[in-house]
Amino acid sequence: MKKYLLLSLFIAGFINATAQSKEDVKPFTKPKLVVGIVVDQMRYDYLVRFWDRYQDGGFKRMVNEGFNCKNNHFNYIPTYTAVGHTSVYTGTTPNVHGVIGNNWYDKVADRMVYCTEDNNANSVGTTSDAGKMSPWRMESSTITDQLKLATVSKGKVIGVSVKDRGSILPAGHAADAAYWFHGSDEGVWITSDYYMKELPKWVKKFNKSNQAEKYKKVWNTLYDIDTYHQSLADKNAYEGPFKTQGAAVFPYDIPALWEKNGAFDLIKGVPFGNSLTTDFAMAAIEGEDLGQDDITDFIAISFSSSDYVGHRFGVSAVETQDMYLRLDLDIERLLNYLDDKVGQGEYTVFLTSDHAAVEVPAYLEDLKIPGGYADSKGFRSNLDTFLKETYNSEDLVKNISNGQIFLNQERLKEIGITSKEIEDAIVNEIKNYKHVAQAYTGYAMRNQTFTRGIASKLQLGYNFNRSGDVLFVWEPGYLATSSRTGTSHGTGYAYDTHAPLLFFGKGINHGSTVKRTEIPDIANTIAALLGIAFPSGSNGEPISEALQLD
Ligand code: ZN
Ligand code: ZN
């Protein structure tokens, strides 16, 4: 009887398990590897503008087989590199993650600080200070941190970029490693003792291979220069030459420009920097055996040369187009490598940028399109004069940076003025200054809720502890610089906020949407795909159309 009971229980259990396994549609997808790609300063329209010039295996493959979010935006101000990388990976905005610029004025330390500088860290792989870095100023967890937690650190996480911040912030707090390129006379990939005491063998081997040195070669256009119809003529008034170079025209004799333009740092500023990043990322996948087992790994690759090229030459330059045509080939090379190494359909990729960029304002001026140059020095001296006349005090402003005015709170107490009072007075004053479009007080940022437009973006960029006391923005198309060549970014206008967002590979639907998506949606989309916990401060919505989950 007893035996019979046990047997029947066993059979019942077996039937039950079989039935369950039939219905067991997993609510998650486990790619062997997630590849996060951030293309520094890439505008959405570069996908469209150069579409006919791209080959089939890079951007086009991601669009043709993957999911394209055509109306994807940054939803905060300021749109700078460190802020962008952090927002992509934390799935939130500077009000929560605390990275409010590349550099910002630290109110407690009373000095400008760099986003990833860390005096407690030491360089690994260089005798210079270039490795004294860590992500300690980033105040919420990243999707890469969440992968670490979800796999009890068994999933590997590696960051790669020629820029330190482009590697460190995406890799998160718990990464196995973040590597970046140290130029100068060394030309090596380095890290910080935040991650390790010594470079792994494969990094040492890569550094010894002189791969970087191989890019010390002439940069000419990839195709016949007469075929670059999507760009302005090579010689125009809107591009900045390298030092010792007469005009910003092809060919760029990199060996001749080498010494006066930072030696190995010059590689960062031309498309070869992206190729070198691809080489190193592939060496990392190989060296760390990424994507070789059932536990998901993550490599965060940031292509940062695109930002240097964009700054120097602008949106409509042949140089910029050529850089994207070359990056397209690098991405094709990377995808082919992943097919081979990890397996087609076994990995998931997303591609976005950290901010976009404005057309060169001098070019906009010539086309009679609104835009131009704002006078930040005049702004400062007018404000100083106003404050002196109104409060009879010369040291009320500590710092102006990233469109934020930091007041001297101690001095205000001494002379008996509230911060709110002077904030209101400053807003009232600077609204009359040339090309100032809007200004808000820190008080308003803390006490009101803005849901639309520039004010909402300022509020999402406003960090309670770190941000300034008055926030202001220039009119659309304006840069606060005296240089009439090249471009920049940082605003909340569409030209800076509209970024590509492509998903590709395992668990991804084929399709596209013009529904608005926002940068903080990315990390939560990946979290939903993997079925892991969302980053601690995340507030984005998973983009469900992109996912094959059912
Ligand atoms: Zn950037
Ligand atoms: Zn930039």
pLDDT in tens, 8-19: 544 544 444 444
Last residue of a domain, one of 474, 505, 536: 474
How much is the average pLDDT of 119-148? 98
Residue 479 covered by a domain: no
- Output the six-digit token pair for 237: 């008034």
Considering the domain architecture, whether residues 515 and 461 belong to the same structural domain is answered as no
Considering the domain architecture, whether residues 318 and 407 belong to the same structural domain is answered as no
Residue 3 covered by a domain: no
Calculate how far, in angstroms, residue 40's C-alpha sits from the geometric centre of ligand 1: 4
Considering the domain architecture, whether residues 470 and 519 belong to the same structural domain is answered as no
Residue 14 covered by a domain: no
Calculate how far, in angstroms, residue 168's C-alpha sits from the geometric centre of ligand 2: 17
Q: What pLDDT, on the 0 to 100 scale, is given for residue 549?
A: 74
Rounded Cα distance, 477 and 493, in Å: 8
In CATH, what number is assigned to the domain containing residue 410? 3.30.1360.150
Q: What pLDDT, on the 0 to 100 scale, is given for residue 22?
A: 59
Calculate how far, in angstroms, residue 44's C-alpha sits from the geometric centre of ligand 2: 16
Centroid of chain to Cα 286: 25
Considering the domain architecture, whether residues 292 and 222 belong to the same structural domain is answered as yes
pLDDT of 349 strictly over 60: yes
How much is the average pLDDT of 196-202? 98
Calculate how far, in angstroms, residue 342's C-alpha sits from the geometric centre of ligand 1: 29
Calculate how far, in angstroms, residue 454's C-alpha sits from the geometric centre of ligand 1: 20
Q: Check: pTM over 0.85? Answer yes or no.
A: yes
How much is the average pLDDT of 438-463? 98
Q: What pLDDT, on the 0 to 100 scale, is given for residue 26?
A: 83
Q: Any catalytic annotation for residue 513?
A: no
Calculate how far, in angstroms, residue 488's C-alpha sits from the geometric centre of ligand 2: 6
Q: What pLDDT, on the 0 to 100 scale, is given for residue 19?
A: 46
How much is the average pLDDT of 52-75? 98
Residue 368 covered by a domain: no
How much is the average pLDDT of 290-301? 98
pLDDT of 488 strictly over 60: yes
Catalytic residue among 29, 79, 81, 92: 81
Q: What pLDDT, on the 0 to 100 scale, is given for residue 423?
A: 98
Average pLDDT in the chain: 96
Q: What pLDDT, on the 0 to 100 scale, is given for residue 465?
A: 97
Q: Which domain holds residue 467?
A: 375-474
**Which residues, 6+ apart, have CB-to-CB distance to 289 below 8 Å?**
none
Calculate how far, in angstroms, residue 81's C-alpha sits from the geometric centre of ligand 2: 6
Residue 17 covered by a domain: no
How much is the average pLDDT of 423-450? 98
- Output the six-digit token pair for 138: 């980033």
Q: pLDDT class for 21, splitting at 50, 70, 90?
A: low
Q: What pLDDT, on the 0 to 100 scale, is given for residue 509?
A: 97
Say whether 19 sits in a helix, a strand or coil: helix
Calculate how far, in angstroms, residue 3's C-alpha sits from the geometric centre of ligand 1: 71
Q: What pLDDT, on the 0 to 100 scale, is given for residue 15?
A: 47
User: Please, what is the end-to-end C-alpha distance for the chain in angstroms?
Assistant: 45
Considering the domain architecture, whether residues 284 and 410 belong to the same structural domain is answered as no
Q: What pLDDT, on the 0 to 100 scale, is given for residue 128?
A: 98
The DSSP-derived string for 194-256 is: TT-SS--HHHHHHHHTTTTGGG-S-B--SS-GGG-TTS--SS-TT-PPPTT-SSS-S-B-HHH
Q: Which residue has the tokens 């200070």?
A: 129
Residue 4 covered by a domain: no
Residue 15 covered by a domain: no
Give 477 or 24, the one with higher predicted confidence: 477
Considering the domain architecture, whether residues 501 and 453 belong to the same structural domain is answered as no
Looking at the CA of 487, which ligand is closest?
2
Calculate how far, in angstroms, residue 203's C-alpha sits from the geometric centre of ligand 1: 25
How much is the average pLDDT of 270-293? 98
* Sign of the Cα pseudo-torsion (53, 56, 57, 62, in order): positive
The closest of 222, 314, 307 to 273, measured between CA atoms, is 307
pLDDT of 392 strictly over 50: yes
Q: What pLDDT, on the 0 to 100 scale, is given for residue 550?
A: 64
Strands 501-505 and 372-373: unpaired
User: Which amino acid is residue 94, in one-letter code?
Assistant: P
How much is the average pLDDT of 506-526? 98
In CATH, what number is assigned to the domain containing residue 142? 3.40.720.10
Looking at the CA of 269, which ligand is closest?
2
Calculate how far, in angstroms, residue 196's C-alpha sits from the geometric centre of ligand 2: 29
Calculate how far, in angstroms, residue 154's C-alpha sits from the geometric centre of ligand 2: 34
Considering the domain architecture, whether residues 269 and 123 belong to the same structural domain is answered as yes
Q: What is the dihedral of CA 365, 371, 377, 380, to 10 degrees?
A: 150
Last residue of a domain, one of 440, 474, 508: 474
Considering the domain architecture, whether residues 346 and 206 belong to the same structural domain is answered as yes
Q: pLDDT class for 1, splitting at 50, 70, 90?
A: very low
Provide the percentage of residues in the chain whose pLDDT is more than 90: 94
Which ranges of 367-441 would DSSP assign to H, the alpha helix? Answer: 376-391, 409-415, 419-430
Count of structural domains, the chain:
2
Q: 467-477 burial string, b = 16+ CB within 10 Å, else e? A: bbbbbbbbbbb
Looking at the CA of 311, which ligand is closest?
2
Q: What pLDDT, on the 0 to 100 scale, is given for residue 384?
A: 97
Calculate how far, in angstroms, residue 353's C-alpha sits from the geometric centre of ligand 2: 11
Looking at the CA of 355, which ligand is closest?
1
How much is the average pLDDT of 416-430? 97
Considering the domain architecture, whether residues 404 and 352 belong to the same structural domain is answered as no
Q: What pLDDT, on the 0 to 100 scale, is given for residue 531?
A: 95
Considering the domain architecture, whether residues 451 and 320 belong to the same structural domain is answered as no
Looking at the CA of 353, which ligand is closest?
1
Considering the domain architecture, whether residues 293 and 380 belong to the same structural domain is answered as no
- Output the six-digit token pair for 17: 């398990």
Considering the domain architecture, whether residues 267 and 411 belong to the same structural domain is answered as no
How much is the average pLDDT of 105-113? 97
Cis, peptide link before residue 542, omega less than 30° from 0: no
Which phi and psi (to 5°) does residue 374 adopt? Answer: -95, 150
Q: pLDDT class for 471, splitting at 50, 70, 90?
A: very high
Q: pLDDT class for 25, splitting at 50, 70, 90?
A: confident
Last residue of a domain, one of 446, 474, 502: 474
Burial of 18: CB neighbours in 10 Å, binned 0-12, 13-18, 19+: exposed
**DSSP conformation class of 539:** -
Partners of 502 in the β-ladder: 68, 351
How much is the average pLDDT of 489-497? 98
Looking at the CA of 42, which ligand is closest?
1
The DSSP-derived string for 444-507 is: HHHHS---SHHHHHHHHH--TTTS-SEEEEEPTTEES-S--SS----SSSHHHHEE-EEEEETT
pLDDT of 2 strictly over 50: no
**Which residues, 6+ apart, have CB-to-CB distance to 81 below 8 Å?**
40, 102, 163, 165, 166, 304, 307, 354, 355
Looking at the CA of 82, which ligand is closest?
1
Residue 366 covered by a domain: no
Calculate how far, in angstroms, residue 499's C-alpha sits from the geometric centre of ligand 1: 12
